[in-house]
Amino acid sequence: MTILVLGGTGKTGRRIADRLTSLGLPVRAGSRSATPPFDWQDRGTWQAALDGVTAVYVSYYPDLAFPGAYDDVKAFTELAVRNGVRKLVLLSGRGEPEAQASERTIQESGAEWTVLRCGWFMQNFSEDFLLGAVLSGVIALPAADVPEPFLDVEDIVDVAVAALTQDGHAGKLYELTGPRLLTFADVAEELSAILGRPVTFVRVTPEEYVSAAMEHGVPREAAEGLGHLFTDILDGRNASVTDGVREALGRPARDFADFARANAHVWKAPQG
């Protein structure tokens, strides 16, 4: 009855794996560093990772909107079902047509499915992606002045664990957002107030963003893909809140202010 958690070292995956382990459930982390390893870019690793697995949390790296994601998810889903997987929980993205194609693959797989269609993670500001920017006091992104209902990863984890372990979530598409709309400038303002030092948002061109990302070691394809997410997806299409967290869990979604206060110690740590 093993549960395979893809992206087992990522923002959602590692938390889900820890939570399932604490519940006493057999868990296999799906990552390149795991044993057996799992790599989305190496289909030869998939079979061993699926051995004895009955449920899978499907998280695609780097994002379902990237080229090749749909073909990979389709091939993996077909292999998983052939190998006896009975439950699939997909981490998807709000407002991404490419992601919705992968959603349909999961929904038509023949297995029990749950789709978690999520907004931008609050934890992007506290882990990896934008942590350095907040520490430096300048968040420079090619994002327009449109609001986004930033979502706490802990809410995603709670819904995913429920879908993997409890009845009542099969056949559900949960659109998950935070409870408030915030622009990146709003986020910078709230962080400034909580941290007691200035954090500013600076809008840059997509070209400037890609160039800066590559200077920091991000491969061109990944940098351009991230630029696409900012310029195409953050165009106002997701500027609305939903009640998906309450629908799934019976409680409201966590607010950005609560997240920021809980993580203030991370941003007050010295850089490096």
Alpha-helix runs per DSSP H in 91-241: 97-107, 131-136, 153-165, 184-195, 206-215, 220-228
Based on the structure, what is the number of domains in the chain?
Answer: 1
Q: Is residue 159 part of a domain?
A: yes
Contact 145, 182 (CB under 8 A): no
- Nearest C-alpha neighbor of 160 from the set 10, 7, 19: 19
On whether residue 211 sits in a domain, the answer given is: no
CA atoms of 108 and 74, how far apart (whole Å): 10
Question: Sign of the C-alpha dihedral, residues 76, 80, 81, 82?
Answer: positive
What DSSP designation does 229 have?
I
Tokens standing for 6?
């893809």
Please identify which residue in the block is written with the tokens 């500013």: 200
> Does residue 182 lie within any of the structural domains?
no
**Domain extent for 35:** 2-119+152-176+240-253
Q: What is the pLDDT of residues 26-44, one digit of tens each?
A: 999 999 999 999 999 999 9
pLDDT at 269: 59
Helices (H) and strands (E) in the chain, counts: 12, 8
pLDDT of residue 232: 78
Under the banding of pLDDT at 50, 70 and 90, the label for residue 272 is: very low
Angle between helices 153-165 and 13-22 (to 10 degrees): 50
- The answer to the question of residue 17 being in a domain is yes
Other CB atoms within 10 Å distance of the CB of residue 218: 15
The answer to the question of residue 218 being in a domain is no
Chain-centre distance for alpha carbon 53: 22
Alpha carbon distance 88, 33 (integer Å): 22
Residue 82 pLDDT: 98
The answer to whether the pTM exceeds 0.85 is yes
Helix 69-82, helix 97-107: angle, nearest 10: 10
Please confirm whether the linkage preceding 179 is cis (ω < 30° from 0): no
Residue 142, in any domain of the structure = no
Distances from the Cα of 188 to the Cαs of 158, 179, 221, in angstroms?
27, 18, 28
Q: What is the mean pLDDT of residues 158-169?
A: 98
Query: What's 95's domain CATH number?
Result: 3.40.50.720
